[in-house]
Amino acid sequence: MGRYCIKKLLQGLLMIFTVSVLVFLMLHMMPGDPVDLMMDRKVDASKKEAMRVQYGFDKPLPEQYFNWLGGILHGDFGTSIRMRQPVSKLFQARIPVTLELCGIAMLLELVIAVPLGLLSAYKKDSLFDRIVMSLSLFFAAIPSFWTAVMLILIFGVTLKWLPISGFGSPSNYVLPIAAMVMGWTASSIRMTKTEVLDVLREKYVLTAYAKGLPHRSVMVRHVLRNALILVTVVVFMSIPWLIGGAVIIENIFVIPGMGSLLTQAILNQDFAVVQACVLLIAVLTVICNLMSDIITAILDPRIRASMGGGE
């Protein structure tokens, strides 16, 4: 078990290191001079030279990389050129907003998707299953940005029940979270069902039936217990998707989170911000994958047995 965790941890670290190199190189892989990309072309040469020195572009690449990385490890993500503020300060204001949004959305998603997926698998091919599956297929086909626009149209413009943008009071949360939850819940229901059906095909389930256990107790004692593994997988697999979705939703509802920060930075070519955002999201995603692997291994002795002894 320890060996398995260490191996996964090392893999994750290697992954984060590679991503950090790639993110660092983003600015240098582009055609043209980094200073030209950051400043107006009309700025005179001496000022550009000063900037080159200020940002350390005159040093060799590996040295630049380690300076950059060292700064990040000390909480210095560079300075946003367009907003004239340290990126870390922008992050302080914006990360909690996105976390809150994604956290609530994920809770709702779990509460809706896991029971529905379990029931659909349990009552496979029943009327209930068919209704849930058709509805989830339909909702999975609706892009979240259109859901958002329609929700605004119905509840904000026509009925005037809820505000259509802004961020402050709890009523501001309702529409964005609803738009986020709908699409993912649909796909999570389908994922839950697939996983539960896989469990149902396992030999230990067959054994349980062969022992003469009734259907209900097989479900409760063998299938549901294994569904715990599934819930953790759903949680950790959803986090990257939630963040990806937050990018779109925050833009629509004008919510000052990470997603709208990233979009603005890309449209304005504000590289320090883009690099910091991508790196942060990548690290978070790698950690989530790692957690999901390790927790699955703790809960499922077979994975532990098959992976623990190395490859």
Minimum gap (Å) between residue 146 Cβ and other proteins: 4
Tell me if 161 contacts other proteins by CB under 8 A.
no
Strand partners, 85: 80
Task: With beta carbons less than 8 A apart as the criterion, state whether 303 and 297 touch.
Answer: yes
Contacting other proteins within 178-217 (CB under 8 A): 190, 193-194, 197
Indicate the residue among 14 and 305 with the shorter CB distance to other proteins.
14
Select the span of 53-61, 66-74, 91-99, 278-286 touching other proteins (CB under 8 A). Answer: 278-286
Tell me if 252 contacts other proteins by CB under 8 A.
yes
Tell me if 135 contacts other proteins by CB under 8 A.
no
Indicate the residue among 124 and 213 with the shorter CB distance to other proteins.
124
Q: Which of 70, 71, 115, 143 binds other proteins (CB under 8 A)?
A: 143
Task: With beta carbons less than 8 A apart as the criterion, state whether 129 and 120 touch.
Answer: yes
The DSSP 8-state label assigned to residue 83 in this structure reads T
Select the span of 44-52, 144-152, 168-176, 221-229 touching other proteins (CB under 8 A). Answer: 144-152
What's the CA dihedral at 256, 260, 264, 265 to 10 degrees? 100
Q: What are the distances in angstroms from CA 136 to CA 97, 112, 142, 190? A: 28, 12, 10, 7
Task: State the number of binding residues for other proteins (CB under 8 A).
Answer: 52
Helix (H, G, I), strand (E, B) or coil at 79: strand
Tell me if 247 contacts other proteins by CB under 8 A.
yes
Query: Crossing angle, helix 225-252 and helix 271-299, to 10 degrees?
Result: 170
Q: Which of 10, 43, 53, 137 binds other proteins (CB under 8 A)?
A: 137
Tell me if 81 contacts other proteins by CB under 8 A.
no
Tell me if 306 contacts other proteins by CB under 8 A.
no
Q: What are the distances in angstroms from CA 261 to CA 55, 83, 98, 218? A: 22, 11, 11, 49
Reduced DSSP (H G I as helix, E B as strand, rest coil) percent helix, strand, coil of the chain, to 5: 80, 0, 20
The number of residues in the chain equals: 311
Residues that bind other proteins (CB under 8 A): 14-15, 18-19, 22-23, 26, 29-30, 133, 137-138, 140-146, 149-150, 152-153, 157, 164, 190, 193-194, 197, 240-241, 243-245, 247-248, 251-252, 262-263, 266-267, 269, 271, 274, 277-278, 281-282, 285-286, 289
